[in-house]
Every structure is written in C-alpha cells, then in structure tokens.
Structure 1
Amino acid sequence: MGCSSSAEVKVLSNAPTPLPVEPPPTKPKGHSTFLTDEEVEILKASWNDLNDDSDLSSIGKRVFLQAFEMRPEMKKIFPFDNCWGDKLLQHPKFQAHAQSFMVIIENSVEQVDNESSDFSDSLTLLGQSHSDRIGFTRENVQVFLKAILAVWHDLLKSSDDRTEKIWSKFLAHVVQIMRNGYEDAIDETTSKIPD
C-alpha cells in the first residue's frame, strides 16, 4: 500500500458555498437560461484557463481526493476503496472515474449556452445511474459539489469573486439536474416496492 501522505489534499474551508438554484428566466433557444451571456463568457474563459494549465484527469483526481477528505466514509462506495496514496492515484478505476467526471464537467461547460434537451437528458441519466449504487446518497452529490468548488477555488487563484460565484451557480445547476435524475430513480424504485 502507498503512503497516505503522498496523496495529501488541502481542505479549503474558505471555498464558496453553492448557490441555490433559482427558476431560470426565459431566453431564446441557443442561450443559457440560468447564466447571462456575459457569465457564460466568463465561465468558458476560466474553463479554458483551467484546461490549459492542468491535465483534466489530474483535476478530477484532486476533486475525488477532496471529496474523500471531506467525507472519508464515501470512499467505501467505490471499487478502489482499499487503496491509498500512490496506489490509489495509479488505480485504473480511480483514474477512469476521475477522467469521466471531468469529461462531464467539460461537456456541461461546452453546452451551457445551448441547453438542449440532450444536455439535460444526459445529466439526468447520469443521476439516475447512481441510484442503484449501494451507499450512494443525496448528500454525496453535495459533497462532490463542495469538493469541486474547493478545488476550483484553489486552481483559479487569480480569478475574482464573480468568477467563483458564476462557477458556483453553474455547478449548482448541473448538480441539480443530476440530483433530480437520482431522486426520480429512487422514487421510482421505492414506488415499485410492494406494501
């Protein structure tokens, strides 16, 4: 087993808290319904900065490590729960999960100003797919949101408060769509249980 100190994660308690998702105003098709055009530009520019400066997989690993630091028991629901330190960082399933996680964020950023039903459907299906994971809870979704914001806060050091608020608003929206899918699937499963 690897040394747990080699995968040390700095927990950032001053990271912004997620903003509540408000009902979106109506906008023409092809525009974000929850971000202004200027906010979309800022979001995409900061994403490009993140993407240029870092390997997406490395960012994804940081998010997962941050989430595990915030809620260690959550690691038990993953197929790499018995790995620590360098062994965890090199575990193929951990690497694949971190990469997939970041691809979802990347696709969400790319689709933010073109909120098609395909975009929402993909996030909803992703949420639904987590409903049958033993040990995965609604709270885990919030932990990941906080972990992303903490990592983004650290990576976007040169950004202003407005950029962080835009990311918080964007990620809260993405997570809400996924959470809705998760909760719909849980409700559907529960309704099928005989009395």
Structure 2
Amino acid sequence: MCLSKSEVVLLTKQWRKDDFDWLYNIGKEIYTVVFEMCPRVKSFFPYVLQCDRENKEWQESHEFRRQALRFVQVLSHALDHFENAKYKASDTELRDLLRGIGFKHRAFSKIGFRPTHWQIFVVAAVKALMKDAESLDVDDAAKVIRKTAWEKLTSYVVSCMEEGYYSDSTERLDR
C-alpha cells in the first residue's frame, strides 16, 4: 500500500487520536452506516440485536462502545504506522497485527460472517470520515484526495485482515 506523504498529512490532520469522544463518535457513525447498508450485519453483534428487541439505544451499550473503539483503534494504529514512516523499512508489524485480527474473525464464520462483509466497512468508514471532514476541505480537489487516501488506508487494512482470515491455520499470526 502506498500512501503519499501529503495523503498521510491530510489524514493525520483530521484524525484526533487523543480525543476519546471523537473516536467513539467516528466508530459509532461507521457502524451506523454499516447497519444501514446491510442490516444483516447486526446479527454478528448479539448485544445490538438485544438492544433492538428491548427498544434501547445500541449505540450507548457498553459492548457496542467497546467494539466501536476497537474498530477505530485499528484505523488509528494503521494511520500511526504510516505517519511515523515505519512502513519505509517494513510493514511486517502492522501487517501481522491485521492478519491476526483477520484470523480471529474465522470463528465468526459459524454465524455467517464472510470477509466480503469487510468491504461494507470500507465504504462505511470512508463515508463517515468524509462526512466528518466536510468542514475541512475547501475545494473539490481536496475532497477527492482525502477520499482516495481513506479508501487506500481502509482497503489496506481489510486486505491484510483477509490474508489472515484465509491463511493456513498453522501459521503463527497472533504474535
């Protein structure tokens, strides 16, 4: 994956890695878009279904908050990796982390999860992050660059996770 220096700068200026509320709200928005795009994905999150049955706000459940933050932590880790230029030498550390996450998702295949569901997350993440960036970009060219950069980053994350999901189970991915 190749993010240019200017793309990394653009994304890191938007990403508020030390703002817990902002991170949670981005995660919440991503999952909201995912569930709107593909309501079936809710079935992978029993606490969301339970909240729906009980007419409670799933966005405020402890389990959802934890999941939303896990998701944005992965994006944050990937962005930090590219911001710190670690990738110039090797992206093994990040790749192994993401492959490990993908491998762990194999357990969810029993309830219907498939790696193709991650493509919904790519679209949802880009949509949520572009909505967040509306006040940052003053012209259409900047919007296109930002959107392309988020697509590259999220697609890279998913690609590595897919590698882990489909990897030989004898490989050591959970370092």
For residue 36 of structure 1, what is the amino acid of its counterpart?
A: S
RMSD: 2.2
Residue ranges of structure 1 left out of the alignment (5+ in a row): 1-23, 25-33, 190-195
Answer yes or no: is 1:58 the counterpart of 2:58. no
* Inter-partner Cα distance in structure 1 for 2:144 and 2:19: 21
Q: TM-score, normalising length from structure 1?
A: 0.71
* Inter-partner Cα distance in structure 2 for 1:102 and 1:155: 14
Q: Deviations over 1:94-122 (max 9, x none)?
A: 11100111111111110112133111100
Answer yes or no: is 1:177 the counterpart of 2:145. no
How far did 1:182 drift? 1.3
Match of 1:167 in 2: 150
Match of 2:67 among 68, 92, 97: 97
Match of 2:122 among 139, 145, 148: 145
For residue 165 of structure 1, what is the amino acid of its counterpart?
A: T
Aligned-partner SS, 2:76: helix
Match of 1:136 in 2: 113
Match of 2:86 in 1: 114
Rg comparison, structure with higher value? 1
Q: Deviations over 1:64-115 (max 9, x none)?
A: 1110110001101112122236431221111110011111111111011213
* Inter-partner Cα distance in structure 1 for 2:160 and 2:61: 29
* Inter-partner Cα distance in structure 2 for 1:163 and 1:75: 29
Contact 1:79 1:93 in 2 (8 A): no
Give 1 or 2: higher helix fraction. Answer: 2
Q: TM-score, normalising length from structure 2?
A: 0.79
Residue ranges of structure 2 left out of the alignment (5+ in a row): 138-142, 171-175
For residue 141 of structure 1, what is the amino acid of its counterpart?
A: W
Match of 1:82 in 2: 50
How far did 1:55 drift? 1.7
The number of aligned residues is 154
* Inter-partner Cα distance in structure 2 for 1:146 and 1:114: 26
* Inter-partner Cα distance in structure 1 for 2:43 and 2:78: 27
Answer yes or no: is 1:37 the counterpart of 2:9. no
